[in-house]
């Protein structure tokens, strides 16, 4: 079986290419030596000293708050944008608008960051915590809009019509019917927005000001002074968090899928 050996080789090389840098980072976070490139035995000391590094911890806290607030705002705005783009199919310039929602995705982050910086300066807002949030909300809402939009495209409008027909006013219909049904997509959008906010360096560094240093900015500035094993440790924790998140998300979608299949089988059997 020549071809299967070829497949295995390609697969191994591909995964190696993707994951070896990360594995090195994780391994060296358990390094006893202070020198990042020299293995000095296993140790958890950097995980301990990391906690007492006040600068790093502050940055982590800022990042978490920015992530939660901007992801939430981005999700609300992105969901509304998706709704109007999918629902109002006949307003002038709709094509332009729906195309424009994709623009920030392909726009170089430097340009997004710079234009936001110019805006903040022009309007005269002091840069800091809230400007980072505004910046992150701006770019994450596009991602949310796209995730929610794709769900809404397959949404059966007659469900909403049925609710209206049964006497439920439009706004209530949104909260009782539409939102519960698109909620998985909204949550997925929120997770995406949160992750994007968590690891954004470029836009945050343009929008930030004193007292609002996010973790990526902190890490980047520390790396310039030399990589410390502490950085490796906190990065390992970040990787761990993201991995757990992805695993939970995929398990829950898998379970939902299996439940759906089971239900369908039960329905086919008739079970009268």
What residue ranges bind another protein (CB under 8 A)?
156, 158-159, 161-170, 177, 180-181, 260, 263-264, 266-268, 270-272
Please state, in angstroms and rounded to a whole number, the distance separating the CA atoms of residues 262 and 59: 46
CA atoms lying within 13 Å on the CB side of residue 261? 6
CA atoms lying within 13 Å on the CB side of residue 103? 10
Whether 25 and 219 have beta carbons less than 8 Å apart is answered as no
For the CB of residue 152, give the shortest distance to another protein in the complex, in Å.
Answer: 15
116 or 186: whose CB is closer to another protein? Answer: 186
For the CB of residue 170, give the shortest distance to another protein in the complex, in Å.
Answer: 8
167 or 226: whose CB is closer to another protein? Answer: 167
For the CB of residue 257, give the shortest distance to another protein in the complex, in Å.
Answer: 12
CA dist 220 to 71, 189, 216, Å? 23, 27, 6
For the CB of residue 184, give the shortest distance to another protein in the complex, in Å.
Answer: 11
For the CB of residue 269, give the shortest distance to another protein in the complex, in Å.
Answer: 8
CA dist 255 to 8, 63, 66, 251, Å? 29, 31, 31, 6
Q: How large is the angle between the packed helices 54-87 and 129-153, nearest 10 degrees?
A: 40
48 or 260: whose CB is closer to another protein? Answer: 260
1 or 268: whose CB is closer to another protein? Answer: 268
111 or 159: whose CB is closer to another protein? Answer: 159
């Amino acid at each position: 079986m020549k071809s299967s050996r070829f497949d295995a080789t390609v697969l191994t090389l591909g995964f190696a290419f993707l994951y070896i840098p990360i594995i090195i980072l994780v391994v060296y976070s358990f390094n006893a030596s202070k020198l990042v490139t020299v293995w000095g035995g296993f140790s958890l000391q950097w995980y301990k000293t990391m906690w007492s590094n006040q600068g790093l911890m502050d940055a982590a806290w800022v990042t978490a708050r920015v992530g939660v607030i901007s992801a939430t705002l981005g999700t609300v705005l992105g969901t509304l944008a998706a709704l109007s783009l999918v629902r109002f199919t006949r307003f002038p310039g709709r094509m332009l608008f729906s195309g424009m929602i994709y623009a920030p995705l392909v726009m170089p982050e430097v340009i997004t960051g710079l234009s936001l910086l110019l805006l903040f300066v022009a309007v005269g807002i002091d840069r800091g915590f809230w400007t980072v949030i505004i910046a992150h909300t701006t770019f994450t809402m596009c991602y949310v809009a796209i995730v929610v939009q794709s769900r809404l495209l397959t949404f059966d409008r007659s469900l909403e019509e049925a609710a209206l027909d049964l006497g439920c006013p439009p706004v209530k219909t949104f909260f009782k019917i539409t939102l519960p049904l698109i909620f998985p997509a909204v949550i997925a959008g929120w997770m995406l927005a949160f992750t994007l906010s968590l690891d954004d360096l470029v836009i945050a560094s343009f929008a930030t000001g004193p007292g609002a240093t996010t973790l990526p900015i902190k890490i980047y500035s520390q790396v310039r002074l030399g990589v410390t094993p502490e950085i490796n440790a906190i990065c390992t924790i970040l990787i761990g968090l993201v991995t757990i998140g992805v695993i939970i998300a995929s398990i829950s979608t898998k379970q939902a899928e299996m439940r759906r299949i089971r239900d369908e089988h039960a329905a086919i059997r008739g079970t009268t």
